[in-house]
């Protein structure tokens, strides 16, 4: 497999990528890395239909046929790698009832045994009664190993993992620890089976040191610590009540400023960038549109893949694909797979039923 990868690399390195069309460039770059094109990346699992980062969310994404299961990596107080998105457990668990005195504490303040006491399913039933299921009550936080178990759990479906080091400065050494776990599980042998991602350039550099052969993606955003915005007006100053509407107006200060971030990506050895998207319907996961055609062209010109986060609707799939992206983070893998004419035999409801949820 390694030899095959090297051979492919050598051949493709000689290909005049600049002579290919924009779409052709992205495809060639993806194939060079062993990454599906266009890639379906199940954001926190199939997190529209099941509570994010839980077993049913990842099982559903796997059975739907997503190319990658996405997860946000953090570490428990006793050193176990877990999949949790937020800095705290308040939004997606009953931590306020279980550990009221520590309800605002970071994930790292809890041992794995404590984390496993939390119910990370019931919040979803309350927030989305139309998608609620009684079997979601009492769902548990997943360790990295448990997500790997799910990814390996159906020989007919073999999703990869798309792993984000989340707030990595809070977890010194997490990059080396991640490498050790992936290596122990035999996940570093197949090119493109794992993709690593971070907003944090230092973490990407550490990931490069630890796993130079594993593709890495620099996540892009606008504002604080990210791409300098054209407008210096903050959300608070804008008088806007809807954050998505505020983000949707944000533009990079200049093309040069956008390019600076692509150059950061190249400098840390990243093979791609993960820009934010503005969603047509707005909402909490709608950010600045950093996947505009000119931006994607620039990325491809610098031989960087583009995986955009996070869109769920047909209209947005069509828009970002027309803009030239190479893959999409989505909470609705089923929708995206249908958009790409890759439907599963069963729909989301049938799969959850079949899996015992």
Cα angle: 346, vertex 350, 352; to 5 degrees = 115
Phi, psi of 147 (to 5 degrees): -65, -40
Contacting residue, 25, 39, 43, 220, with ligand G3P by CB under 6 A: 43
What is d(CA 168, CA 42) in angstroms, rounded to the nearest whole number?
21
- Binding-site string for ligand G3P from residue 62 to residue 81, where x marks contact by CB under 6 A and - marks none: --------x-x---------
294: helix, strand or coil: helix
- Comparing CA positions, the residue from 247, 312, 244 lying closest to residue 42 is 312
Only segment of 68-76, 102-110, 187-195, 274-282 that touches Ca ion (CB under 5 A): 68-76
Residue closer to ligand G3P by CB (options 114, 258) is 258
- Out of Ca ion, ligand G3P, none, what residue 219 binds, judged by CB under 5 to 8 A for its kind, is ligand G3P
227 binds ligand G3P (CB under 6 A): no
Q: What string of DSSP letters covers 50-91?
A: S-TTSHHHHHHHHHHT-SEEEEEEEE-TTS-EEE--SSBSTT
Q: What string of DSSP letters covers 197-211?
A: EES-HHHHHHHHHH-
Cis bond upstream, residue 310 (ω within 30): yes
- Binding-site string for ligand G3P from residue 148 to residue 187, where x marks contact by CB under 6 A and - marks none: ----------------x-----------------------
Only segment of 69-77, 153-161, 202-210, 336-344 that touches Ca ion (CB under 5 A): 69-77
- Comparing CA positions, the residue from 147, 227, 136, 206 lying closest to residue 181 is 147
Contact 112, 104 (CB under 8 A): no
101: helix, strand or coil: helix
164 binds Ca ion (CB under 5 A): yes
37 catalytically annotated: no
Of 31, 37, 85, 307, catalytic: 85
52 binds Ca ion (CB under 5 A): no
Contact 156, 64 (CB under 8 A): no
| CB 161, min distance to ligand G3P, A | 12
What is d(CA 191, CA 178) in angstroms, rounded to the nearest whole number?
17
**Residue with the two structure tokens 């047909």:** 314
Question: Shortest Cβ contact with ligand G3P: which residue?
Answer: 309
329 binds ligand G3P (CB under 6 A): yes
Size of the site for ligand G3P (CB under 6 A): 11
Rg, the chain, Cα only: 20
What is d(CA 317, CA 333) in angstroms, rounded to the nearest whole number?
11
- Out of Ca ion, ligand G3P, none, what residue 329 binds, judged by CB under 5 to 8 A for its kind, is ligand G3P
Q: Which two tokens stand for residue 313?
A: 């609707």
| CB 126, min distance to ligand G3P, A | 21
Q: Which two tokens stand for residue 175?
A: 């990059």
Positions 244 through 283 that interact with ligand G3P (CB under 6 A): 274
Residue closer to ligand G3P by CB (options 45, 274) is 274
Contacting residue, 33, 122, 177, 197, with ligand G3P by CB under 6 A: 197
Contact 333, 351 (CB under 8 A): no
Residue closer to ligand G3P by CB (options 43, 193) is 43
194 binds ligand G3P (CB under 6 A): no
Residue closer to Ca ion by CB (options 72, 326) is 72
Of 31, 37, 43, 300, catalytic: 43
Q: Which two tokens stand for residue 106?
A: 């970071």
Give the up-direction half-sphere exposure of residue 261: CA atoms within 13 A in the CB hemisphere: 29
Only segment of 161-169, 177-185, 187-195, 199-207 that touches Ca ion (CB under 5 A): 161-169
Only segment of 27-35, 64-72, 144-152, 273-281 that touches Ca ion (CB under 5 A): 64-72
Which residues here bind Ca ion, judged by CB under 5 A?
A: 72, 164
Q: Which residues are catalytic?
A: 43, 85
Which residues here bind ligand G3P, judged by CB under 6 A?
A: 43, 70, 72, 85, 164, 197, 219, 274, 309-310, 329
């Amino acid at each position: 497999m390694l030899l095959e990868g090297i051979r492919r690399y050598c051949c493709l390195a000689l290909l005049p990528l600049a002579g290919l069309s924009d779409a052709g460039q992205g495809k060639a770059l993806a194939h060079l890395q062993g990454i599906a094109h266009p890639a379906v990346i199940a954001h926190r699992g199939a997190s529209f239909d099941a509570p994010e980062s839980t077993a049913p969310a990842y099982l559903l994404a796997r059975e739907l046929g997503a190319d990658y299961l996405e997860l946000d990596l953090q570490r428990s107080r006793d050193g176990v790698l877990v999949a949790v998105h937020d800095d705290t457990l308040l939004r997606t668990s009953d931590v306020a009832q279980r550990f009221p005195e520590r309800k605002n504490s970071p994930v790292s303040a809890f041992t794995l045994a404590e984390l496993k006491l939390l119910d990370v399913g019931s919040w979803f039933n309350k927030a989305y009664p139309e998608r609620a299921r009684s079997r979601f009550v009492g769902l548990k936080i997943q360790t990295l190993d448990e997500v790997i178990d799910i990814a390996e759990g159906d020989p007919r479906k073999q999703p990869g993992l798309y792993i984000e080091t989340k707030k990595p400065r809070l977890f010194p050494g997490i990059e080396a620890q991640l490498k050790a776990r992936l290596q122990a599980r035999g996940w570093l042998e197949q090119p493109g089976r794992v993709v690593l991602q971070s907003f944090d350039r230092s973490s990407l550099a550490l990931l490069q040191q630890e796993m130079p052969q594993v593709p890495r993606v620099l996540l892009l955003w606008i504002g604080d610590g990210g791409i300098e915005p054209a407008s210096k007006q903050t959300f608070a100053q804008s008088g806007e009540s809807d954050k998505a509407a505020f983000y949707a107006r944000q533009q990079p200060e200049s093309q040069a400023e956008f390019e600076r971030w692509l150059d950061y990506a190249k400098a840390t050895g990243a093979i791609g960038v993960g820009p934010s998207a503005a969603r047509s319907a707005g909402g909490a996961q709608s950010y600045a549109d950093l996947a505009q055609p000119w931006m994607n062209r620039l990325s491809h010109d610098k031989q960087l893949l583009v995986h955009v986060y996070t869109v769920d609707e047909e209209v947005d799939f069509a828009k970002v694909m027309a803009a030239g992206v190479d893959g999409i983070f989505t909470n609705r893998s089923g929708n995206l797979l249908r958009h790409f004419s890759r439907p599963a035999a069963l729909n989301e409801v049938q799969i959850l039923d079949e899996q015992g949820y």
